[in-house]
Amino acid sequence: MSISSGWAQQDSTDRAQDSVNSIELSSFEESLRTIIAQRKEDSLMRLDLQEQLQTLKTTDTYKKDILISQLRDLSAKDSLARRAKIEHVDSLRKITKSYAVVGPLQDTLFRLYSRIGASMPQERAAKISDKIKSLYKDDHIDLEKIKVMGSANMIDIVYEDMIIMSVSEMDAIWNETSSEDLANNYSKRIKTSIAFAIEDGSLLNSISRIGLVLLALGGTWLLLWAIGKGHRKLLRFIATNKDRWLKDLSYHEYTFLSAYQELKIIIFASRLVKWAIYVIVLYIAMPLVFSIFPFTRGWSRQLFDWIWSPFKSIFVSIYEFLPSLFTIIAIYLVMRYVIRFVRYIFEEIENEKLVITGFHSDWSKPTYNIVRFLLYAFTFVMIFPHLPGSQSDAFKGVSVFIGILFSLGSSTAIANMIAGLVITYMRPFKLGDRIKIGETTGDVVEKTLLVTRLKTIKNEEITIPNSALLTGNTINYSSYSQTEGLIVHTTVTIGYDVPWQQMYETLLEAALRTPMIQKDPKPFVLQTSLDDFYVAYQVNAYTKEASKQALVYSLLHQNIQDVCNENGIEIMSPHYRAQRDGGESTIPASYSAHDERKKNYQLDPEKEKI
């Protein structure tokens, strides 16, 4: 059903095109009739002028010059009219379909473009072809009786009482010759075609054709046998030399192909080539055999067209694509060097050789990537119209389909890309910075348009989408660590029995003992709260090692314990409740210089009663 619909649609298209062509031809025929009438009038005027010129006396020079001038004007007018007809025909030739008149052997004798009366070109071609075939089937035909006879407006090619065809002035104009010459040419072709077909169908020719067919088949079989035998010899030759030629294809300790696998590939390739040659030989032999007999020559031409037409269309397409190819190469070369120049500029900015006020050096790489993407997009837009098939519906459909898939499937990716661009120009952090995002703390190891990757102190790599960074808070520990220093701080809760002055001195001493803590600016202590059971002291110290906070805190906590124990201060936070009936202090024995461990804390049970 789909095939019928396709043929019906094509047939309606052809009829519509033929209708348009018919209108064009009818308009041209109408103008041609006007031109012919004007030319007849001009011819009569020319004859009249020539007669007047002959009757003039030799002394009438003035009148003679006038008549000669008028004759020249008529000749020029006729020349212009003929040029106009040729130009009109040339314009119609591009849109008008021609129809072939075929001989008895299905060979094209000539083509028709114009109609005569109500007969369209295709109808004329079909009727003329049928008449030529009927003449060929006449066993008593006398080709000398095919003659050319002229009439008022037509020249006919006739055989006895049958008019084979008529040649009009329109036909002559299409073929850029005179009606008489065209008719004689057509008559000669018809005679030659019928004579050749008669000779071609004789008994002797039939016997010779059978012999040629057998010879062609025998030659084809012999060629196929030789190819098969040559292939077998080739395989034996490869098998004999395989140990010398074939080695394992390997890189380091990995073997891509062993010698045995290489041998199998070579054998498979040789067989593939052999069968490809078989197909080519048979495909060449079939048109050759079909071309021997007249009734199968159409098949031969069809088979040859099936082979040649694709290659011809490829060669023609390549030839027609050459101007566009040169344009594409020129665009590519120009944009390539433009991109190189842009890259050079941004590399100079990144290396701080070129300073632009308000433009930070760490913006150079992402900005270059954006500009490069835009330049590539602009290059593609310029090249796209020059690509083969870019204007076809199929190409446009695929482009729309890819665009829809990209837009539907990449909304999240685009959001992350936009967030990446915003973060780049916000500059909340840079590579190597120690940052905290939500509950995640780590060093920035990679920053792209889509994601940011952090490496934690546990050597964990965490990937965070840029859209999440843009919607949350980011703490950067490294921003001021090298200039003003990062303040590390920790809180210790001590009972009210310890004087705050002593506690200040203790915590400051612990901070100053800690490696990677700056002596200047000096550490300082803050009392952050006065609770029911204890006082909260916060020690603050400056460090430039933002990426080693865990180690700094660990050492600081160790020193706080050591200095508190040395000063006889018990750390009992948040609060400590114990029944010390003779119990000792919690200070380790190694800090017994203050003799705190020897104190006995006894409780009086009677005093504890309510």
The reply to whether 166 falls in a domain is yes
Q: What is the arithmetic mean of pLDDT over 463-471?
A: 84
The position carrying tokens 């990757």 is: 453
Task: Give residue 598's pLDDT.
Answer: 47
Do 233 and 176 reside in the same domain of the chain? no
Do 490 and 593 reside in the same domain of the chain? yes
Task: Give residue 318's pLDDT.
Answer: 84
Q: What is the arithmetic mean of pLDDT over 73-90?
A: 62
Do 472 and 513 reside in the same domain of the chain? no
Kindly tell me if the per-residue pLDDT of 232 is higher than 70: yes
The reply to whether 256 falls in a domain is yes
Question: Nearest-CA neighbor of 136 among 198, 52, 43?
Answer: 198
Ranked by mean pLDDT, the top range of 350-359, 390-399, 565-574 is 350-359
Pick from 59-63, 66-70, 580-584: least confident = 580-584
Do 599 and 495 reside in the same domain of the chain? yes
Do 495 and 568 reside in the same domain of the chain? yes
The Cα–Cα gap between 239 and 250 comes to 22
Question: Nearest-CA neighbor of 462 among 496, 438, 498, 485?
Answer: 438
Do 521 and 558 reside in the same domain of the chain? yes
Kindly tell me if the per-residue pLDDT of 2 is higher than 90: no
Q: Would you tell me how many other CB atoms lie within 10 Å of the CB of residue 273? A: 13
Ranked by mean pLDDT, the top range of 66-70, 124-128, 160-164 is 124-128
The reply to whether 383 falls in a domain is no
The reply to whether 570 falls in a domain is yes
The Cα–Cα gap between 147 and 159 comes to 7
What are phi and psi for residue 458, nearest 5 degrees? -95, 15
Kindly tell me if the per-residue pLDDT of 291 is higher than 50: yes
Q: What percent of the chain has pLDDT over 70?
A: 73
Do 106 and 73 reside in the same domain of the chain? no
* DSSP of 567-592: TT-----S------SSBPPSS-GGGG
- The whole domain housing 131 covers 99-200
What are phi and psi for residue 80, nearest 5 degrees? -65, -40
CATH number at residue 580: 3.30.70.100
Question: Nearest-CA neighbor of 520 among 484, 554, 494?
Answer: 484
Do 519 and 535 reside in the same domain of the chain? yes
**Strand segments (E) across 383-534:** 434-437, 440-447, 451-455, 461-465, 474-476, 486-494, 524-530
Q: pLDDT class for 553, splitting at 50, 70, 90?
A: very high
Rg (CA), the chain: 52
Do 500 and 593 reside in the same domain of the chain? yes
Q: What is the arithmetic mean of pLDDT over 461-476?
A: 86
Of 476, 494, 525, which residue sits at a domain end?
476
The reply to whether 390 falls in a domain is no
The reply to whether 538 falls in a domain is yes
The Cα–Cα gap between 106 and 190 comes to 12
Kindly tell me if the per-residue pLDDT of 22 is higher than 80: no
Q: pLDDT class for 216, splitting at 50, 70, 90?
A: confident
Q: How many domains does the chain have?
A: 5
More confident residue, 192 or 85: 192
In contact, 209 and 293? CB cutoff 8 Å = yes
Classify residue 426 as left (phi > 0), alpha (psi -120 to 50) or beta: alpha
Q: What is the arithmetic mean of pLDDT over 446-467?
A: 87
Q: What is the side-by-side order of every strand in the sheet holding 434-437?
A: 461-465, 451-455, 440-447, 434-437, 474-476
More confident residue, 590 or 283: 283
More confident residue, 328 or 579: 328
Q: pLDDT class for 36, splitting at 50, 70, 90?
A: low
More confident residue, 237 or 589: 237
Task: Give residue 142's pLDDT.
Answer: 81
| CA of residue 147 relative to chain centroid, distance | 62
The Cα–Cα gap between 112 and 125 comes to 7
The reply to whether 308 falls in a domain is no
Do 572 and 512 reside in the same domain of the chain? yes
The reply to whether 420 falls in a domain is yes
Pick from 58-67, 169-178, 181-190: least confident = 58-67
